[in-house]
Structure 1
Amino acid sequence: MDNSEISIPTVTEIELSTRPQTRDASTDLPARENSPSTRPSLAQLSHRSPSNPGSTPQDGASACDGTAQHVTGLKLLALASSITLAVFLVMLDTSIIATAIPRITDEFHSLNDVGWYISIYQLASAALQPLTGKIYQKLSTKISFLAFFAVFEIGSLICGLATSSTMLIVGRAIAGIGSAALLNGALIIIACAVPLEKRPALTGLMMGVSQLGVVVGPLLGGAFTTYTTWRWCFYINLPIGAFVAVALFVVEIPDQFQKQNPWSVLRRLPRELDLVGFALMAPAAVQLLLALQFGGDKFAWGSPTIIGLFCGAGGTFAAWFLWDWYRGDDALIPLSIIKVRAVWAGAVTQFFLLTTVYTASFFLPLYFQAAHGATAMMSGVYVLASILPQLFMAVVAGALVERTGYVIPFAMLAGTIGAVSNGLYSTFSPTTPTAQWVVYQVLNGIGRGFGMQMPVLAVQAALNPADIPIGMSVVVFTQSLGIAIVLAASDTIFQTSLVSELENKAPLADAAAILRAGATHFRDIVSYRDLPGVLVAYSVAIDRVFYLTAGLAGLAVFTSLFLGWVDVRKKQGPATDVEQSHAGSPADKH
């Protein structure tokens, strides 16, 4: 043997060679270590090298640093801009159709289909989300993202070309399927493109800008419907989508770890993607969302239909849980990942924080329209007061995390500010001055900017590179279900409160007629004598919704304590064994 081929093994290599490992027969990769006694700290997990699962890079590299290839400069700008625009379009699609629906129903004579125009998009997206984590785990991140984005664009094109209500609903369903993997895909791409310590500002900026789509959706929808055609509510996705596709094609996105050959995955598709688990999870999510969508609207909450949907969702979920436990680490969403403290805490914290954002996005415009007589377009303009502070603080919070290294203080601060600002929202009345509601929204935007990226960052830091796609799908799926649940609860609180308050504040007014007229037209049927009482009733009903969101933001303060004290800063020198042994606190473990 040539002496040049002889190498002396290091102590780390000797330790790794003698350490027993189990292997997954389907992927021939080392299985995850789930035992608390053998599982490394979260800081070590976040810095594992994909090429050597047992190693810990000494330079503090992130989960994607196995090849030390990161996207920088103009390529990073193009990548960040493209994925932000993609998620922006997804958010835009959730709200842009709202102001276009009256014109659509006039053209297709489809008033009975209004509920499906909105709900089918969310149903299709939520049903597919758990599967997207497996897809990103097994296949190329770049190809998977582009494939789902192409489906989203095809759905938008079908909607724009729709010649019937049925064709529009089909297009919305296809667009929803494509949107299912775009938010978590964007988060995964950021995790691959930049090291852990540089993600907070980029993630916060991406989420902040994309959420602007929820706010400006009604404005754009109203403008398109008024000055061109409602079809541009969907056509707008095509030119922006072309830019996104070109930018992603030219930028190389380094995967977090070596992916499998797509053809080998297709040959073992049911096992690799756990299609049985998906066939159980998807109906559970759809039944739950249908119950929330129809409950209190088309059917009474106590009706057999709604009770049946809730029972069906619970029974199907129980069956999925048993199957998931049986499948172990090969399951659609392995319980070993859900049990990681930072994962479930991150998902729940994100649920609490993001539901307050979406609730405000729906009920603040309603307040401005009802209590202040603003038009639908101007009510959207008024809620922009929280957007610029949100974007600014997202960057500031990212810079602060890079200096301090920890996400928990900022997540707690976000929950605290969110609870205070939503509590202040609950004091709104028909006479609230402009300066007051602007200041309250600025405060709320500051809280959003501090916190929206922190749970995501904590989950990414807590998982092995191969598990980050699953972790992101858990966060996004929990967030989507949470938004549906809280919006349904908020609507119930609002409707119930409005009826009771109308009886108290305007007893001579026709409450049923006021409810049918809606926030923008009830002034046409209410007498001058009854109008002040009706305005107060609307304000009080909306105020009670913000009692709920203030409480949810307060719960986020508590759940953020479990995100893990992981220092995400890049280490400046080699870490000693003692430093590594103190890299994570007991709270970081299972």
Structure 2
Amino acid sequence: MAITKETAEPATPELSGLDEPEKLTHSAHSSTTGQVEPASAAAPTDQTPRSPDGNDVKGGTTAGSPQSNQPQHLTGVKLVVIVASVTMAVFLMLLDTSIVGTATPYITDEFHALQDIGWYAAAYQVASAPLQLLTGKIYQKFPLKWTFLGFFALFELGSVLCGAAQSSTMLVVGRAVAGMGSSGLFNGAMVILVASVPLHRRPPIMGMFMGISQLGVVCGPLIGGALTEYVSWRWCFYINLPVGGAFALFLMILHVPEQAPKPSFVSALPTLFRDLDLIGFSLMSPAAIMLLLALEYGSGTYPWNSSVVIGLFCGAGATCIVWLVWNWRRGDKALVPVSMARRRVVWSGAITQALMLAPMFMISYFLPIYFQAVKGVSPSKSGVYVLPNIMGQLLTAFLSGFMVQRTGYILPYVMFACATTAVGTGLLALLSPSTPTGEWVGFQLISGLGRGFGLQMCLLAVQTVLKPAEVPLAISLLMFTQFLTSSVFLVVGNAIFDVVLRAQLAAQAPAVDAQAVIDAGTTGFRAGVVGPADLAGVVLAYANSCKPVFALAAAAPAAAFFVAPFLGMVDVRKGKKAAPPKGDEKA
């Protein structure tokens, strides 16, 4: 019996009513269940690949493969290796941001350059921050794998320069090079995961990525303390080479799918200046640099009311205004596309994530100070004492991914994360010289558990709502906002700590030289600088100085709690917003 055309063709679901994110999600689901993807069954009407801005791509690649415009995702061993590789790269990058604090006393002892201490961290930040927004455009324009490996190679080069430094100046240059490389690592890792994993399977994998990689921030004092105490401060930087090199090699030999068409490098060159909005970048980067320099100088080198600091703040503000005007005039071709930035899920996600995660850097910096100065433990042991904070964050980062995959909705977990992080961090403000072990362990657990729930939520929200070509730009905006916010909170916290410590030393131990105590460091003041009669007063002064810092850290996620509802009820299972509030598209 003859078979008609209708019975020969497989039945496929209708996709005409779905928006673009839904089609991509359905395509990924069909490929995993064995169903035939409708878009591949029928001949497309237009085979011309297009770039993210809608222009024809000549000689470029299409999303997924040359034969199909449908997204191609990874499974099995390939997916595991890629996830592990990008996770370890970001872990090393975040470790590098916090490990240098432990190594600084040993570095200054060798180079005798006490005046350069601030630059060991500032050079990294100043080089990294301005490039973060530009990396979104770069990943949108060029192949994901090789762009990511390029940034990672630059980061590794900076680590080599730091480890082999023969002078303080060489170390500062190495930190700047590493900062430039780090600017594209987190954004690139996120975009690679988005390209490799379908949306409905992404939450648990994102949870593992965020949970493990973010451990770099809180593991810095632990690993750095052990390396500087038992090996050499140089291995705080050399450690990036063998570990990072191995995972970079794995990534190099594997295929990373592209979820949006990319032009070839040669065809992209004529319009590269315009497509990357380098004019906008040249306006934005000085504003970010001047802001970071003002914060760095004001926290130690110059008084806050000095002409240098005030001039830098004014210059940053004026340049930022000029950039905002330029960005608005450029519209969707700007460094930060206007229509994307006006979407509620983007701006609310950026603010919520920045405020919710600001305490992470403050806790990783000031909690070891409490343990070393107040409890009298060594730098390496203080790293062990912050393990409850690490383990709580790791546990809920994993758990939240599976919970979101099952329930679909993001907002409830964001609200819970903000509230719990605020409570746990606020409890740290109760720490005193007599606080028992059970309490400081419990306080850290609460703070870490809450923060772990929120690590990936805002990033998942923007991935769910935006088109694949917009995701690199949105992620770079969220990371840029988080970086600047964390820097501001850390500097303000340090300024508060310094002012309160001096006042507390005068009140609790009036017989000691306050400047000598501060210069001796958190552990050195016990070695002959402070006599037995004044030791209890100095310890109490340090404990009281940490209290307002932890209170400030708790205020950030408390504020995020009131911004988070603007994210709306995003459902990652459907790839769209469920019952979006009126006016969600724009502010």
Q: Which residue number in structure 2 is paired with residue 567 of structure 1?
A: 571
Q: Which residue number in structure 2 is paired with residue 26 of structure 1?
A: none
Matches within 5 A, 1:120-139: 120-139=123-142
- Distance 1:521-1:227 versus aligned 2 partners, 3 A rule: closer
CA distance in 2, matches of 1:316, 1:178: 25
User: How big is the shift at 1:370?
Assistant: 1.2
CA distance in 2, matches of 1:215, 1:585: 37
- 1:107-163 CA distance string (max 9 Å, x none): 334332222222101110111111100001111111111111111112212222333
Q: 1:438 aligns with which of 416, 428, 441?
A: 441
> Could you tell me whether the CA contact under 8 Å between 1:50 and 1:257 is conserved in 2?
no
> Could you tell me whether the CA contact under 8 Å between 2:25 and 2:198 is conserved in 1?
no
SS at match of 1:47: helix
1:527 aligns with 2:523: no
Q: Which residue number in structure 1 is paired with residue 557 of structure 2?
A: 553
Query: For residue 450 of structure 1, what is the amino acid of its counterpart?
Result: F
- 1:304-356 CA distance string (max 9 Å, x none): 00000000100111111111111111111112111111111111111112111
CA distance in 1, matches of 2:368, 2:112: 28
CA distance in 1, matches of 2:19, 2:322: 35
Query: For residue 558 of structure 1, what is the amino acid of its counterpart?
Result: F
CA distance in 1, matches of 2:155, 2:351: 27
User: How big is the shift at 1:533?
Assistant: 2.3
Q: 2:83 aligns with which of 80, 95, 111?
A: 80
User: How big is the shift at 1:231?
Assistant: 2.4
> Could you tell me whether the CA contact under 8 Å between 2:25 and 2:200 is conserved in 1?
no
Q: 2:177 aligns with which of 174, 177, 182?
A: 174
Query: For residue 544 of structure 1, what is the amino acid of its counterpart?
Result: P
1:47 aligns with 2:22: yes
Q: Which runs of 5+ in 1 are unaligned?
A: 17-42, 572-579
CA distance in 1, matches of 2:422, 2:230: 40
TM-score (norm. length: structure 1): 0.87
Query: For residue 325 of structure 2, what is the amino acid of its counterpart?
Result: L
Q: Which residue number in structure 2 is paired with residue 92 of structure 1?
A: 95
Q: 2:413 aligns with which of 407, 410, 414?
A: 410
SS at match of 2:400: helix
TM-score (norm. length: structure 2): 0.87
State the identity as a percent: 49
CA distance in 2, matches of 1:87, 1:582: 32
SS at match of 1:158: helix
Matches within 5 A, 1:456-535: 456-523=459-526, 524-535=528-539
- Distance 1:507-1:104 versus aligned 2 partners, 3 A rule: closer
Query: For residue 589 of structure 1, what is the amino acid of its counterpart?
Result: E
Instruction: Count residues in correspondence.
Output: 542
Query: For residue 557 of structure 1, what is the amino acid of its counterpart?
Result: F
> Could you tell me whether the CA contact under 8 Å between 2:570 and 2:578 is conserved in 1?
no
Query: For residue 402 of structure 1, what is the amino acid of its counterpart?
Result: Q
Q: Which residue number in structure 1 is paired with residue 226 of structure 2?
A: 223
Of stretches 93-102 and 316-325 in structure 1, the one that deviates more from structure 2 is 93-102
> Could you tell me whether the CA contact under 8 Å between 2:151 and 2:181 is conserved in 1?
yes
Matches within 5 A, 1:192-207: 192-207=195-210
SS at match of 1:447: helix
Q: Which residue number in structure 2 is paired with residue 584 of structure 1?
A: 580
- Distance 1:582-1:95 versus aligned 2 partners, 3 A rule: closer
SS at match of 1:428: coil
1:164 aligns with 2:205: no
- Distance 1:548-1:222 versus aligned 2 partners, 3 A rule: closer
Query: For residue 293 of structure 1, what is the amino acid of its counterpart?
Result: E
Q: Which runs of 5+ in 2 are unaligned?
A: 28-34, 40-51, 53-62
User: How big is the shift at 1:510?
Assistant: 2.5
CA distance in 1, matches of 2:21, 2:511: 64
CA distance in 1, matches of 2:481, 2:108: 33
- 1:334-386 CA distance string (max 9 Å, x none): 12111111111111111112111111111111111111101111111100112
> Could you tell me whether the CA contact under 8 Å between 2:571 and 2:578 is conserved in 1?
no
- Distance 1:180-1:58 versus aligned 2 partners, 3 A rule: farther
CA distance in 2, matches of 1:188, 1:227: 38
> Could you tell me whether the CA contact under 8 Å between 2:24 and 2:71 is conserved in 1?
no
